[in-house]
Amino acid sequence: MNSDNPLLADSDLPDFAAISAAHVVPATQEAIASHRAAIYGITKAGSDDFDSVVLAAERADFLLSRVWSPVGHLASVADTPELREAHAQAQALMTAYLMEAGQDRAHHDAVARVAARPDFTILPVAQRRAVDLALRGFRLAGVALEGEARQRFLDIGVELSDLGTKFGNAVLDATEAWSEHVTDEAALAGVPESDRAILAAYAQEKGLTGWLITLRQPSVLAILLHAQDRALRERVYRAHNTRASEQADDKAHDNSERIDRIMALRHEAAEILGFADAAAHSLETKMASDADEALTFLADLARRARPVAERELAEARAFAAAELGLDDVQPWDLSYVAEAMRRTLHGVDQEALKAYFPLPRVLAGTEALLERLFGIRLVAREGVSTWHPDVIFYDVLDASGTTVAGVYLDLFARAGKRGGAWMDVCRARFRDADRFHLPVAYLTTNFAPPAGDRPSLVTHNDVVTLFHEFGHVLHHLLTEVDLPSIGGISGVEWDAVELPSQFMENFAWERDTLIGLSGHVDTGEPLPEAMFDRLLAARQFQAGLAILRQIEFATFDLLLHRDYDPSRGSRVNEVLAQVRAEVAVMRPPEWSRFAHAFSHIFAGGYAAGYYSYLWAELLSADAFEIFAHADVPGGGATAFRREILAAGASRSAAENFRAFAGRAPEIDALLRMRGLAEA
């Protein structure tokens, strides 16, 4: 391999500081060529044993991923025009090759020979699972297709990959394109000092005086939660909810045509493979048997949640009229009203709470939690090459002090970084002959950055988010499966992959954990017990409205993909309006274009799968209740690590849960947690 290209270096960690846009395409080309040669060698040999066929392919896949993972990650966290162009070229090459590789019949036949051996049934469970999932992957990649259908399926895959990237880029560009410059501080009445400091930093970033309101997450939340100026809230709400659409002030980033094309191609691809629709295609790799089962689950939750949400909305309107002088609560008022209700009725002041959560203390508390639960320690390592000075790298050590994994933390919002929070794989765990590759993960959030000499102050919701993403990280890092295709999160059914992340969220509501990681930014005093009690009492505040919102998004996603009609097009706004008429208790304005920035389903992996968050929440709520009562052999944390985190996809998600709980999952815990249990 080319030793001058850092992406091709045989190193345990990428040399991010050395990677430039110019390295991306040559490295991708060389990695693809090497992978192609390795697979050809496997198939030419004609072997039928696991090591010669499956393990050898895992090795080739690992080396390919080692090149591509840093490229994809940089495109999300360090966007530049040069990198965007290089990434687009390389992604087209990679997508075309992976589609081609998925239809490699010689490779498929080699794996099938392994499965056909008389001694296949006595192979270890993980090895048999890897073979079964590989064969399923070939089938879903169209290995059986012939002629024009085969080529058409390949072409669709390449185009869909390009469209997804362009969709995400448009959302990022639209987010950065809008701003409102404020020179009179009175316009920011109600916005806390810590948030005004962030807005001032945004202004300084652009060489401006005063304050700059943007569509980055900390800015949007600051205005919608706190700004007394109702017209300002409406402007920010409108700009945020029309991003990348024809309703935006700047229509240059409109995703409308991309959505139509994405939906048409997904439907066509599903039909080529013999599925009725794109939802059926998507559900093939999930726990739910079909879209109807998932929709029935959502409809049942909606039935339980809607009366609660209607009562909550009525209470909010009554409070707004009596306390805030708002007689006609609009969508851009809801967060502001809710925040005022938390302060007044529940004694929960998010700004006061933030002072108890300086990020360094939160990180230290998170490290303590992970050591208490799973016996691991996070130790920051200096001198690791990163893509930004704010990035922290931790070695993960077991109880004996041995390094078993690593994780990068990139926590602050900034220009050129995609919004939201996520975990991704940098390196997979892989035991290959005499070499053992440790798992490494990326954990990315968009918290408010430090302002001046003050540390970043995070909200309680940010703590929940951090724990959520650490759940994914733990799933990847604590795997005990040595095959990358079924270790950690790889190969896990998509509607179960959120189980560890949502399980970990619960610790943000645990008294000892939350108070233990707190420390007032000025005094160092921990969160007072009384404040924690009020926070816990308000956990289910507006829970009905919150879950209905998730049900709305998930139902829209499934119906959009299940009911697509090529003669009518995507009808994205029509479908969303139909779902809102059935589910929502407050309808957004007609001009709202939420779907145009719905990157989860149009630029991520959640197409016809957004319901996974609620499906997995059922699993996680049930699992956490069991954990809390330690009603499993070996104690809750030990069993959870052994049966869920360590097992990865070496068994089905249903088998993993049953091994942990001793039974199938039940919905009751979810209903109790969400305040929907019937009396």
85 is catalytic: no
Helix (H) / strand (E) containing 292: helix 291-319
Euclidean distance between the first and the last CA atom of the chain, given in angstroms as a whole number: 66
Contact 174, 250 (CB under 8 A): yes
Torsion angle (degrees, nearest 10) of CA 317, 322, 323, 328? 40
The Cα-based distances of 40 to 44, 111, 328 in angstroms read 6, 13, 67
Rg of the Cα trace of the chain? Answer: 25
Residue 525, both tokens: 């005093």
- Strand-strand pairing, 422-427 and 440-447: antiparallel
Strands (E), 354-492: 377-380, 392-397, 403-412, 422-427, 430-432, 435-437, 440-447
Spatial CB neighbours of 123, under 8 Å, sequence gap ≥ 6 = 50, 131
Which of 58, 367, 469, 643 is labelled catalytic? 469
Q: What is the SS3 assignment for 627-645? A: HHHCCCCCCHHHHHHHHHH
Contact 139, 283 (CB under 8 A): no
Contact 646, 480 (CB under 8 A): yes
Rounded Cα distance, 653 and 659, in Å:
10
The Cα-based distances of 667 to 378, 456, 561, 614 in angstroms read 35, 38, 26, 11
Helix (H) / strand (E) containing 180: strand 179-182
- Single-letter amino acid, residue 531: M
Residues recognised as catalytic: 469
